[in-house]
Structure 1
């Protein structure tokens, strides 16, 4: 049994002192940028989910180092923002004093112990003026490019966090940070015009090497919808109600219109005798979140305005209603109600006794029927296919215009908190809105004990007259500073750029190093940031690219979104008391055991169930590895060399495809096989250490050194020289006949189609399916599967 405490301490100190895997960014010949999501220092320590992500990313980086790449694996701290500030308030400390202590604990007691090949000399801290100077610089650049503007808008307000939230920070109507139900407020806020990049953000997803689930989350959030804008005149007035619909083919089925209560036209449409009812209705709706209002299951409520619109194609009078299920932020804030072919409209019409007119052919019992089909009861267009009408909608009537709509809204970046970068804008009565000159950055966050938000809608900085009152950089007259700070997701939207030049006080990143190292080669992290950090990083990169400040428009060549960990079959939460503290296992089982178990307990991209029994099993496995490493040296049997050849290939394939659990399983199989013998060649032990080193670095370093290795196991190269043994290895190939698996056959690796076909014909259990049949087609994927099409 190996002494993991002694060995791990030894190698942790070695990593700290020698930094054996540090990369010279200027001299590197084979650059590979391996990025992981940096943590919020906003709690008592990193939990097991953080470690899962960091270690999973490091496994890939270590593998690429073994393959001969100069791997740059930086780390830092997302230290500004609501996460760190709320934690400080919770424990009763000032965020400016608590955050450095949290960072020190995260760095020294956790991150430096887990064996990752971090480049600590490139560490960044978003709350450091050296960093947020450039966050403010980006804000100014966006402002000058016309991509940042301040405007009055209804925004998401978290009553608990006492700040505005971006749409992406509201999950099911609740604050993504504290789960408090959000409300709506009309406020003047700064927005970044991310919607200008909606098409580019969507189009590039087609070629990005990203996890498909992540791309689909972004596609859904961007929400591009093709349809038509249809204009309905309000009876007896010059007013026109515009409606966006993806189903203009159902235009003849419109029996009423519904406006959002907040729509700019509602007050002018509501008749005098209904005004008191309208005001009470508006007050009720203001207390509802978006998820509740748009839920299909919830009962829909509305009031009739007393006004009518005119159907543009038929001239019919259409009653105009106000409904709580229509949102002013989406589309035009008004819908044409087609109850026969829309579920929400159908429920609403049934409740209020409104007309239901079928215009798509189907069994009336199927209503509401929401599929495309043949148009009926549609005047001259009866008999048309839905798709045909939609395609020609721009030619049918002047009231209808082909339109593309998006779910994506501009990014609200104003935050009414203290702990963040002050927005670098000055307001002057003479000159108007003036960005802080770049040479005057950073606008320092003032030190103050008056930092707790009061819920008024104003930042705590608004109470600091010394900060607020300043001089206009244009005219020299008296002026006032913007008192909101920027969203912490702006801090993290560009941090990968700063890593390459963390100490440069002249520019945010060095252009030559950016050309050499960027975009990021591999980024591994959680899918929960698909609509936040990842989307914002893409936008900032595209904007800087269009300004000529970056040579690329997508920040991350490859992204892999990993799964979540549960504990003993349940989601981890403080209320259940099943949060896993990794530090505990550093002591009881060792870092190597924890790393290896986290990567073995399930498919990394899907997550897994953390169980103590699994940790015990991995501890026993590492003891067996130690036993193999200490076996007497001697000639190795051919079959063990063949097994090593297979293991090398399996580990290579598994890591490259982020199937870490199968890589560990392959190493386990080799170890079990090796223990059947009484001696082993030194080279096989060295190669075992190399294969294990991405998962269990410390025991691997010890074994590598024990066998005469120098300079670190990752610098010794990935195992090679097994090609001749690989040819002798057998593989099991599934045999599929007419779409069904009928068995498996064993053949030598790389066997030709003819050899495989001969082997399956010799197998009595498989050959019986060929009797009396003719092979019409053969599809053979070497070493993977053979598919026969028979007739």
Structure 2
């Protein structure tokens, strides 16, 4: 720990002592947490013997980027929710493996190092220590630190490079030219997601397009399998929907349109609506379509080139105004022979379809907007079954009946689509086609902080993979590591790194100087955890077969597409290459929700960032864990309010007071009658809710059970108190461990078995109902569980206590909540006739 961080920790501790007293915390949570954290580490409580485990359960959470000031509250929210699930599974008898590590390579870490002016190797090591020792070890999770990973460790990226070599040998990695987003200020390549309105999200400067030789992984080969497998995966539905949309499968017609007066040139067009082909009034090409230079007429060349330069400032993630420029060229309609004007338009994406769009403004909203913006004609080819489409108000995009479509007029859209495809295929102008929005994965990064791509370039043999016995290719430790601005990695300037020999012929050769995208590092880390201490292979086959695929993976919805898609692809590829026995990595995936602060998204610009360190120092990890889980449904999220945390403080204080006051004198016999029934009902409810990750309602059930125990404080039994602690243990691991010990138990509560319930006890001849008058409890009655609502109402109104509280008031209505309560709602009696001459 640095001197500064030690000082900060001391200040937080001093503040915590004062604040905890102010908020009425009755127990010394700081001492309790230090005590048990030390004992757990000493006893290696959460280390699992991976070889001997009889009921393996792999509980995985997404490892963090150690690139900022520390863990944010969203990290803690994710990790605590996952840990609760893991603790519950452990108490069910499973050998739960819950590892943690650090995704420490990549642009996040390097940009933070640039901001701080510290070498990323030094800064990353500092951040990892802070994340692990000052934060992750304080939140109460059952991490197994004996299998800690760090993607910057050569023992780890050795095998990242090995995976790349296998993909290269399997034909799944290739190098080709591609356009990239280039920030001239930061002197680096940016992902599309890092470009907003044509500007770098970090520095705000205009982003350029550059063409560079890049390495790609051929994820598109797996597009259909990635899509099909989603149908039978136990994942959050919203995540599966996002993946389906990202893959973007569509079925349609791909056909050729000849360029007028240029018989040797054709434009390949793809459409999902062949039935609208007679409504085409323009063709639009993506700004970098390869035919633009050759078909553009001289009088239009300057305008087209200016438009292309303007389009370079946009990425495909940007919102686009409808603009375009005419090339002076025309395409020939395949059915009518009509001349169709060809435009360049930046709303057309070069990476989807063929980079060319047949413009049908009457039946496509985007084409309609383009036609209106450029005053182009609109031709109706499909009408609804009844009436006519009002194309002046917008495109008619639904299927219907074809009109103005030659021999196909009168057909339905479905019939016409098949007939038009058949005719195009008969004329050999095109064919039925399936397209995907998914693109190959560009993994090259012209940066320093990443694993070097293990390729050697030989003048004679081309790109050659580094031999496996020469891995890892170590990242040089250099002083000049910042981006160069040349389009090359800083590694390109290190001759001692670049100069090498060809593994095949032994002649002089050069190393690849790009590093890989850190998404590749995280696409396989779950495979490495069980074998993290094995330097001879990426994963031990026996351990992998025993522990994988992952039983439960919990993470943020922002990773629904990139990370999860890449992890699935890498697993599928390794399966096909014969290295794994499974082709999907995660049996279950759940996306946690989003935390807001006082109704607003948390961000530095809003000044509402929640520092978990401060709250843990002030209230303790148990309070913070429970409050985070109590804010709302775990898979939806909730709003963080400083005011709301006080209720959790009082809840745990009451647990402490109830248990400590009965550690010696609690009745040792088992609870009987209604107490026993309530105990078993609570166990059932908590078990079902925690299994469904409904942590907020689980906590509510525990609060209700505490109320019940407090109401019969003098009769409470030891068994009931232990049930309360066992059910609470996954949420408040420190407090429950301390109280468990104080009750005389000699083993950890986290090694105890989850309590079970007896269904026979839940079903009784009678039930006890709370009786309220105007919302206040006035009596309790016992009725048959088969009693009708009318019979229950009669018994309530016959109660002497209820009669006394109703008095002369009029009964307005009786509200019955089945199995729980009856509320009698009354109004004040009319003592005198109303005076109609009043004013208010």
Same fold (TM over 0.5): yes
CA separation of 1:542/1:188 partners in 2, compared to 1, >3 Å: closer, same or farther? same
2:577 is equivalent to residue 547 of structure 1 = yes
What is residue 286 of structure 1 aligned with on the other side?
A: 312
| Of 422, 444, 454, the match for 1:395 | 422
Alpha-carbon deviations, 1:98-157, whole Å to 9, x = none? 111111111111111111111110101100000000000000000000000000012233
What is residue 340 of structure 2 aligned with on the other side?
A: 318
Alpha-carbon deviations, 1:44-70, whole Å to 9, x = none? 211111100111100000000010000
CA separation of 1:143/1:700 partners in 2, compared to 1, >3 Å: closer, same or farther? same
- What SS does structure 2 have at the residue aligned with 1:520? coil
What is residue 212 of structure 1 aligned with on the other side?
A: 237
Structure 1 contact 88–98 (Cα < 8 Å) conserved: yes
CA separation of 1:439/1:433 partners in 2, compared to 1, >3 Å: closer, same or farther? same
What is residue 740 of structure 2 aligned with on the other side?
A: 704
2:622 is equivalent to residue 600 of structure 1 = no
Structure 2 contact 62–555 (Cα < 8 Å) conserved: yes
2:163 is equivalent to residue 133 of structure 1 = no
The structure with the larger Rg is 2
| Of 741, 750, 757, the match for 1:714 | 750
1:729 deviates by 9.6
- What SS does structure 1 have at the residue aligned with 2:209? strand
1:324 deviates by 2.4
What is residue 772 of structure 2 aligned with on the other side?
A: none
CA separation of 1:215/1:169 partners in 2, compared to 1, >3 Å: closer, same or farther? farther
Structure 1 contact 304–322 (Cα < 8 Å) conserved: yes
- 1 CA distance for matches of 2:56 and 2:791? 51
Structure 2 contact 390–396 (Cα < 8 Å) conserved: no
| Of 27, 32, 51, the match for 1:7 | 32
Structure 2 contact 280–360 (Cα < 8 Å) conserved: yes
Comparing 22-31 with 579-588, greater Cα deviation is found at 579-588
What is residue 259 of structure 1 aligned with on the other side?
A: 285
- 2 CA distance for matches of 1:427 and 1:230? 39
What is residue 727 of structure 1 aligned with on the other side?
A: 763
Alpha-carbon deviations, 1:515-549, whole Å to 9, x = none? 00000000001010111111110000000000010
| Of 530, 547, 551, the match for 1:500 | 530
- What SS does structure 1 have at the residue aligned with 2:147? strand
What is residue 140 of structure 2 aligned with on the other side?
A: 115
What is residue 652 of structure 2 aligned with on the other side?
A: 622
What is residue 737 of structure 1 aligned with on the other side?
A: none
What is residue 371 of structure 1 aligned with on the other side?
A: 398
CA separation of 1:266/1:445 partners in 2, compared to 1, >3 Å: closer, same or farther? same
What is residue 46 of structure 2 aligned with on the other side?
A: 21
Structure 2 contact 174–217 (Cα < 8 Å) conserved: yes
- What SS does structure 2 have at the residue aligned with 1:308? strand
Calculate the TM-score normalised by the size of structure 1: 0.90
1:389 deviates by 2.3
Gaps of 5+ in 2: 1-25, 770-780, 795-817, 821-840
1:451 deviates by 0.2
CA separation of 1:706/1:412 partners in 2, compared to 1, >3 Å: closer, same or farther? same
- 1 CA distance for matches of 2:249 and 2:607? 42
- 2 CA distance for matches of 1:747 and 1:254? 76
1:269 deviates by 1.3
- What SS does structure 2 have at the residue aligned with 1:191? strand
2:655 is equivalent to residue 633 of structure 1 = no
Structure 1 contact 589–616 (Cα < 8 Å) conserved: no
Comparing 133-142 with 153-162, greater Cα deviation is found at 153-162
- What SS does structure 2 have at the residue aligned with 1:549? coil
| Of 199, 208, 216, the match for 1:191 | 216
Structure 2 contact 284–343 (Cα < 8 Å) conserved: yes
2:351 is equivalent to residue 329 of structure 1 = yes
2:294 is equivalent to residue 268 of structure 1 = yes
What is residue 82 of structure 1 aligned with on the other side?
A: 107
Structure 2 contact 274–421 (Cα < 8 Å) conserved: no
| Of 323, 327, 331, the match for 1:301 | 323
Alpha-carbon deviations, 1:481-538, whole Å to 9, x = none? 0000000110010000110110111100000000000000000010101111111100
- What SS does structure 1 have at the residue aligned with 2:643? helix
Structure 1 contact 642–729 (Cα < 8 Å) conserved: no
Structure 1 contact 168–532 (Cα < 8 Å) conserved: no
1:159-558 matches, within 5 Å, as 159=184, 161-166=186-191, 182-237=207-262, 238-292=264-318, 295=320, 298=321, 300-362=322-384, 363-366=388-391, 367-397=394-424, 398=427, 399-558=429-588
Alpha-carbon deviations, 1:190-216, whole Å to 9, x = none? 000000000010000111100001111
CA separation of 1:75/1:291 partners in 2, compared to 1, >3 Å: closer, same or farther? closer
| Of 704, 710, 720, the match for 1:675 | 710
What is residue 61 of structure 1 aligned with on the other side?
A: 86
Structure 1 contact 173–291 (Cα < 8 Å) conserved: no
Comparing 710-719 with 159-168, greater Cα deviation is found at 159-168
Structure 1 contact 686–703 (Cα < 8 Å) conserved: no
Structure 2 contact 681–757 (Cα < 8 Å) conserved: no
- What SS does structure 2 have at the residue aligned with 1:509? coil
- 1 CA distance for matches of 2:461 and 2:454? 15
- What SS does structure 2 have at the residue aligned with 1:603? coil
- 1 CA distance for matches of 2:449 and 2:759? 58
1:355 deviates by 1.7
- 2 CA distance for matches of 1:39 and 1:623? 33
2:735 is equivalent to residue 694 of structure 1 = no
What is residue 740 of structure 1 aligned with on the other side?
A: none
- 2 CA distance for matches of 1:484 and 1:504? 28
Alpha-carbon deviations, 1:215-257, whole Å to 9, x = none? 1111110100111112111112221111111111100111121
- 2 CA distance for matches of 1:371 and 1:687? 59
- What SS does structure 1 have at the residue aligned with 2:644? helix
- 1 CA distance for matches of 2:569 and 2:189? 20
1:557 deviates by 0.4
CA separation of 1:132/1:587 partners in 2, compared to 1, >3 Å: closer, same or farther? same
CA separation of 1:369/1:62 partners in 2, compared to 1, >3 Å: closer, same or farther? same
- 1 CA distance for matches of 2:176 and 2:768? 64
Comparing 676-685 with 137-146, greater Cα deviation is found at 676-685
Gaps of 5+ in 1: 734-745, 766-781, 785-791
1:84 deviates by 1.2
CA separation of 1:173/1:64 partners in 2, compared to 1, >3 Å: closer, same or farther? farther
1:763 deviates by 7.8
- 2 CA distance for matches of 1:474 and 1:747? 88
- What SS does structure 2 have at the residue aligned with 1:239? strand
CA separation of 1:203/1:169 partners in 2, compared to 1, >3 Å: closer, same or farther? farther
- 2 CA distance for matches of 1:748 and 1:553? 56
What is residue 809 of structure 2 aligned with on the other side?
A: none
Alpha-carbon deviations, 1:710-740, whole Å to 9, x = none? 321121100125444322398999xxxxxxx
- What SS does structure 2 have at the residue aligned with 1:646? helix
- 1 CA distance for matches of 2:154 and 2:202? 25
CA separation of 1:710/1:289 partners in 2, compared to 1, >3 Å: closer, same or farther? same
1:181 deviates by 6.4
CA separation of 1:760/1:245 partners in 2, compared to 1, >3 Å: closer, same or farther? farther
- 2 CA distance for matches of 1:107 and 1:698? 18
Structure 1 contact 20–711 (Cα < 8 Å) conserved: no
Structure 1 contact 166–411 (Cα < 8 Å) conserved: no
- What SS does structure 2 have at the residue aligned with 1:703? helix
Structure 1 contact 727–748 (Cα < 8 Å) conserved: no
CA separation of 1:127/1:15 partners in 2, compared to 1, >3 Å: closer, same or farther? same
